[in-house]
Amino acid sequence: MKSRSYLLISFTVITGIIFILRLFYLQIISDKYKKEADEISIKKKFTFPERGYIYDRNGKLLVANQTSYDVMIIPREVKELDTVQFCKLLKITKKDFIKKYKKAKRYSSRLASVFLKQLAKDDYAFLQEKMYKFNGFYIQKRSIRNYPINSAANVLGYISEVNEQLIKKDKYYQQGELIGFSGVEKQYEKDLRGIKGVKRFQKDKFNKIIGSYKNGTLDTLPVLGKDLTLTLDIDLQKYGEKLMANKRGAIVALEPATGEILALVTAPSYNPNLMVGRKRSKYSTLLIKDTINKPTFDRGLKAQYAPGSPFKIVNALIGLQEGAITTKSTFLCKGGYRYGKRAHAFMKCHCGTYGNVNFERAIYKSCNTFFSNTYRRIIEKQSEPKKGMDIWSAHVKSFGLGDYLGVDLPVGNKGRIPDGDFYNRFYPSFKWRAVSTISNAIGQGQVETTPIQLANMTAAVANRGYYYTPHIVKKIKGKKLDTKFTTRKLTSIDAVYFEPVIEGMLQVFEKGTGKYSKVKGLDICGKTGTVQNYIKRNGKKIALADHSIFIAFAPKDNPKIALAVFIENGGYGSRYAAPISSLMIEKYLFGKTQKPYVEKRMFTDSLLQKEYRKILITNDTIEKFE
């Protein structure tokens, strides 16, 4: 073969190689073409399964679904119509009609959009018969949530249309679909929603469906949403909400033996039915914009308060465990505790003893002097304050304080339990000692907890040294509960040290700060708390009425309920928090109360509202209120 022949031969071979390389890139390396092809040529149609129902622990229906009917419009297909009749049927004005029509047209003239949301049932029945007269309009069935009982709004949460960010994050969702936005609806979204079914169709270049895709072999059927049973006792929850009327604060009640949340009350709250249907958009902005009452803020899970005196229980237990004190220890109380080098460094005590205070009296009378000495001994038992602080901190944290509890609800807070490193940062140029942190002894200072953490701490005491992670879901149909809720968590305190402390807590109702809330024939163990609090207004620190706090569990042996109650600016612990606690316990254990007059006072007391108005009257710059 003549050598000049090789020019065309090599051109042919090289061209072939270039083509194959290019095909290799198009068909094997790049994956964008596959995606683009699917987008262009395949239309997906979804079938949505019914969302799971939600029940309380006794099987009462809390959340169900209802059918709603939307009038849909495809502007391009709308022909001449009798607008007067149409408007009359829909109960809208002609002006509304024009506005809605223009809005739909702006969105798309080819695609369907909602013309009128959620018709009343009677209107639907009537309209359905006349619909044939109106080209371009049709009625679409939708499923929306329904709350038969007006309660527990923040626990249940609500569902809403997915936003752009969510669609980007989770490819499952598409524009216009519903997703749980808060509470149980958000936490158990995947169980509740089920899985939507998909049918794929082949489109042509005119966007017309020309047949099924791969004969439907890739199509899937929808999977029904799972029903949930909550640990909540809805009667107790509702009762708690009634007790919290006109107040701000939270009640968290747990079953100590299981960690199940019996009631999670936050006040003020709202009616969950407001977040459904046509009224929704109006109310949701109202609720979210209410920065004074914060009805969507779950105080039970998120509000961080100084725990106050109930925290003395933990300090008493650590004192016994570390051998800083014994049940025989006494301290001299002269109406207060003096500490540090300066004369004015003085913590008042209201135990009213003026003499030697023993262990049990220290608890039921809430003696600040006794616990300040105890705390100081715990820290100073170690060679240096940092070491003592770390040991104390580890004990406290073993009660589930100072970190997220792991509750199965989407919001929460860590609280704050300081340790040695914390104070090294807190006092950067100061050699701190036990007395520098002495307020921790009585649950003030740098210690902060959320109501649910405090309730859980109470449950750990009731159980004599262990707890289960609090949780809101009892049963998911066809699925096992997460093992983290059935695993016992031990505190670092030996069981023997609990009895004397519990005895002291029992005496709170017999002789101590809670005696006015005693319930005949029931051994309740509790502890009051009264917490000072301040706001900053125009840079000035202003003292507000104290927060009223109470923790309790009952009965003393074999406890069935443990709870924590926070009433913001409610004054002494014995004034609001203690009676509410005992009423809650009575309601749960017996279904009724011995003291209807106390109950009535709690339902109607509007004294607190005056207090709040005082705080808020010139609230131009409230930086810290919680």
Partner 1 sequence: MRNSNSNIIGIDWKLVILYLLLIFIGWINIYSASKTEVHYEILDFSAKYGKQLLWIGFSFFLIIIILFIDTEFYKQFAGIFYLISMLSLVGLFIFGKKINGATSWYSIGNFSLQPTEFAKIAVSLGIAKLIGDKQFDLRIVKNQLKAILILIIPALLIILQPDPGSALVYLTFFFVFYREGLPKYYIILAILLLITTILVIKYGYMYIEIGALLLFITFIIYAYNYKKYFLRKYWIYYIGFYLATAIFIFSTHFIFTNLLPQRHVDRINLALNLVKDTKGKGYNTKQSEIAIGSGGFFGKGYLEGTQTKGDFVPEQHTDYIFSTVGEEWGFLGSTIVIVLFISFILRIINVAELQKSKFSRIYGYSIASIFFIHFTINIGMVIGIIPTIGIPLPFFSYGGSSLWAFTILLFIFIRLDANKSNEW
Which residues of this protein are in contact with partner 1, per CB under 8 A?
1-2, 4-5, 7-9, 11-13, 15-16, 18-20, 22-24, 26-28, 30, 32-34, 36-38, 40-42, 202-205, 210-211, 213-214
What CA dihedral angle connects 243, 244, 250 and 255, to 10 degrees? 20
The minimum distance between CB 272 and partner 1, in angstroms, equals 45
Q: Which is nearer to partner 1, 34 or 106 (CB)?
A: 34
The dihedral over CA atoms of 168, 172, 174, 177, expressed in degrees to the nearest 10, equals -120
Cβ-based nearer residue to partner 1, 34 or 91: 34
C-alpha to C-alpha distance for 425 and 68, rounded to whole angstroms: 58
| CA-wise closest residue to 225 among 258, 191, 197 | 191
**Smallest gap from residue 408 Cβ to partner 1 (A):** 43
Q: What is the DSSP string of 551-579?
A: EEEESSSS--EEEEEEETT--STTTTHHH
Give min distance, CB of 45 to partner 1, in A: 16
Name which of 16, 467, 56, 459 is nearest 228 in CA terms. Answer: 56
| Rounded least distance, CB 35 to partner 1, Å | 8
What distance in Å separates the CA atoms of residue 262 and residue 254, rounded to the nearest whole number? 5
Is the preceding peptide bond at 75 cis, omega within 30 degrees of 0? no
Work out how close the CB of 10 gets to partner 1 at its nearest, in angstroms, rounded to a whole number. Answer: 11
Cβ distance to partner 1 smaller for residue 82 or 204: 204
In the complex, minimum distance from the CB of residue 107 to partner 1, in angstroms, rounded to a whole number: 24
CB of 23 to partner 1, least distance (A): 5
Residue 20 vs 111, nearer CB to partner 1? 20
Q: How far is CA 210 from the centre of its chain?
A: 49
| Smallest distance from partner 1 to CB 198, Å | 16
Least distance to partner 1, CB of residue 24, Å: 7
Nearest CA to 378 among 464, 314, 454, 427? 314
- For residues 282-310, one letter each, b for 16 or more C-beta atoms within 10 angstroms of the residue's C-beta and e for the rest, the string is ebbeebeeeeeebbbbbbbbbbbbbbbbb
CA distance 241 to 264: 9
Output 208 or 484, the one with its CB closest to partner 1.
208
Q: Which is nearer to partner 1, 210 or 288 (CB)?
A: 210
In the complex, minimum distance from the CB of residue 44 to partner 1, in angstroms, rounded to a whole number = 13
- The DSSP annotation for 238-302 comes to HHHHHHTTT--EEEEEEETTTTEEEEEEEES---GGGGSGGGHHHHHHHHHH-TTT-TTS-HHHH
- Residue nearer to partner 1 on the CB measure, 200 or 242: 200
Residues 303 and 451 sit within 8 Å (Cβ to Cβ): yes
Residue number, 21 or 345, with CB nearest to partner 1: 21
Residue 44 pairs with which residues in a beta bridge? 200
As to burial, measured by CB atoms within 10 angstroms (0-12 exposed, 13-18 middle, 19+ buried), residue 200 is: middle
CA dist 36 and 40 (Å) reads 6
Residue whose CB is less far from partner 1, 40 or 481 = 40
Tell me the closest approach of the beta carbon of residue 64 to partner 1, in angstroms.
41
Cβ 214 to partner 1, closest distance in Å?
7
Q: How far is CA 210 from CA 14, 45, 216, in A?
A: 41, 14, 13
CB-CB contact of 306 with 314 (8 Å): no
CA-CA distances (angstroms) from residue 395 to 255, 261, 288?
A: 23, 24, 39
Closest approach of partner 1 to the CB of residue 74, in Å: 22
Answer for the pair 508, 516: CB distance below 8 angstroms, yes or no.
Answer: no
513 token code pair = 């700060």
User: CA–CA separation, 343 vs 352, rounded Å?
Assistant: 22
Q: Which of 528, 519, 529 is nearest to 583 (CA)?
A: 519
Query: Smallest Cα–Cα separation from 249: which of 602, 567, 463?
Result: 567
DSSP 396: H
In the complex with partner 1, which residue's Cβ is closer, 142 or 199?
199
The least distance separating partner 1 from the CB of residue 219, rounded to whole angstroms, comes to 15
Contact 278, 117 (CB under 8 A): yes
Which residue, 11 or 590, has its beta carbon nearer to partner 1? 11
Short-list 508, 513, 518, 502, CA closest to 458: 502
